[in-house]
Structure 1
Amino acid sequence: MRRAAIVLLLLAALLPAAPAAATASAEAAPSYRARTVTLDGVGVRLRRNTRQVVTVNHTSGHRARVVLWMLRKGRWVAGLRTTDGRIGYGGLVAGTKRRQGTGTTPTGTYDLRSAFGTHRRTSAWDLPYRRIRKGDFWVQDNASDFYNRYRNQRQGGFRWWLPSSHDDASERLTDYGRQYEYSIVLDYNWSQVRRRGSGIFLHVNGRGATAGCVSAPRSMLRKLMNRLDPDRDPVIAIGR
């Protein structure tokens, strides 16, 4: 009996251990499939942990309805809302077909990745934020490695001196103190496809249509700055 017990112990030592760790790992990291939902008539492509969505539903002319949605207990609930949203003077176009300088707003779903503006940062803002300084531009120079990026002229790397009438002129941010008081950056064309366009933001309304961005009343932008949370993977979905 003693010899049999020893043999059993040796066999147990040679057998592979039960895959408990592998099972726990699989449960902790389940597979994910991108999902699409429709909110206010706009198709939204959700990211992995998206719990905040801004929809832009074109109504007529350059007008649009802009709504902030939040996921609560498995249901999308509308929060902030305005019927005084604006789009580009050139209307809407598929993001992959957009061309720089056409005044069109790209349709599709885009990450709301960061923000900039004229105010000092407050503790209520969770998005990465940059305060506009003298010499700050959004680069629209197709010959630059910094195309579709925020950059100061002192850093160089783009032709900041080009006149606004030039096809490759970049946007001097201090020239738009009203619209860019609060401005949230869309990741449209973040891969820097030349001539597709750059500098697509969600910003404060100006006097009329935008040049391709989405805009909304100042009061709504202030509230969005306080509510958008990068941990909730916020996106904006633009549709007809």
Structure 2
Amino acid sequence: MRRGGVRHAMVAMTACGFFLTALAACGGPRTEVRHGDVPRPGGPTGTARPSPTVKPARVPGVGERMWRRVPAGTRQVVVVYGEGKNSPDSTLVLYEKHGTAWQRVDSWAAHNGKQGWNPNHREGDERSPVGVFTLSDAGGLLDDPGTRLPYTQDEDAFATPYYWDEAHWHDFDYVIAIDYNRRPGTRPDDPTRPQGQKKGGGIWLHLDHGDGTLGCVSVPESAMEYLLRRLDPKDKPVVVMGDKAELRA
């Protein structure tokens, strides 16, 4: 049941990078490739020659420089393709690895920072940070929808202030913390900033309100519910995010 009308005035210290005082950041079937499935020519005595090492394919639109930052063993990648360096519009796509190939699972229209993107994100710049970040913790105003991620449900911590515009009242019904300048393994609103306050923080995936954010990435409610139920810690999910040009570089 949604909460309407007067909302709790208390809000998380880090709700999508919003400190009330200063913070401004706001598939198809599995294909198993077995050893015997790959033909290997034999030598004069019929002895199989070693197979050449084949590097797993990258997801579309992500260059080698960025791809090198994806941790080994990752099998779920969320890519946020920003329309431009200074644009708040983007597309979020979920990919999963099957065998050595990456398959597109689904995609949704999304929004990022109001001012676009910044590879050197700073508190208050209203831009989303560019990079590769793990996804380890979730939470929200509403009950756990069935996620495998650690989930913190807190009506006070994730309620938006009553004086915010009505369009933002449900922003934090569901959130997934993007591990930018935060401690993985803590609730999304944990205020710790390992790189210091000036680097910002509180960067989340959360519900969309129709326009740019202060640094977070927002998607429709259906997308948040899907991601929460689909992302699995054993697959080491990460988000690769930035404007398209920066991602391809």
User: Same fold by TM (over 0.5)?
Assistant: yes
Instruction: Say whether residues 1:91 and 2:116 are aligned partners.
Output: yes
8 A Cα contact 2:160 2:169, kept in partner: yes
Deviations 1:168-207 (A, max 9, x none): xxxx643354111111001101224221101100111113
Does the 8 A contact of 2:205 with 2:217 survive in 1? Answer: yes
Counterpart contact for 2:57–2:100, Cα < 8 Å: no
Is 2:134 the counterpart of 1:111? yes
- What's the counterpart of residue 208 of structure 2? 205
After the TM superposition, which residues 1-240 of structure 1 pair with which residues of structure 2 at under 5 Å, given as runs?
A: 38-42=58-62, 43-44=66-67, 45-60=69-84, 61-82=87-108, 84-94=109-119, 97-122=120-145, 124-134=146-156, 136=157, 173-175=159-161, 177-190=169-182, 191-240=194-243
2-side partners of 1:239 and 1:41: how far apart? 11
Q: Which amino acid aligns with 2:116?
A: G
- Which structure 2 segments of 5+ residues have no match? 1-54, 162-167, 183-193, 244-249
Distance 2:60 2:176 in 1: 21
Which structure has more relative contact order (CA 8 Å, sep 6+)? It is 2
Using the size of structure 1 for normalisation, the TM-score is 0.64
Structure 1 189/74 Cα, relative in aligned 2: closer, same or farther at 3 Å? same
The 2-side partners of 1:126 and 1:39 are apart by 24
User: What is the aligned-residue RMSD (CA, Å)?
Assistant: 1.9
Letter in 2 for 1:182: Y
Q: 1:69 to 1:131 in 2, by over 3 A?
A: same
User: Which is strand-richer, 1 or 2?
Assistant: 1
* More helix as a share of residues: 1
- Secondary structure at the aligned position of 1:215 is classed as strand
Q: What is the Cα deviation at residue 47 of structure 1?
A: 1.3
Kindly indicate whether the alpha-carbon contact (under 8 Å) linking 1:87 and 1:105 is maintained by their aligned counterparts in 2.
yes
Q: How many residues align?
A: 166
Q: Is the 8 A contact 1:115 1:130 kept in 2?
A: yes
SS in structure 1 at match of 2:224:
helix
The 1-side partners of 2:219 and 2:226 are apart by: 11
Task: For residue 119 of structure 1, report the CA deviation from its aligned partner.
Answer: 1.8
In structure 2, what residue type is equivalent to 1:86? H
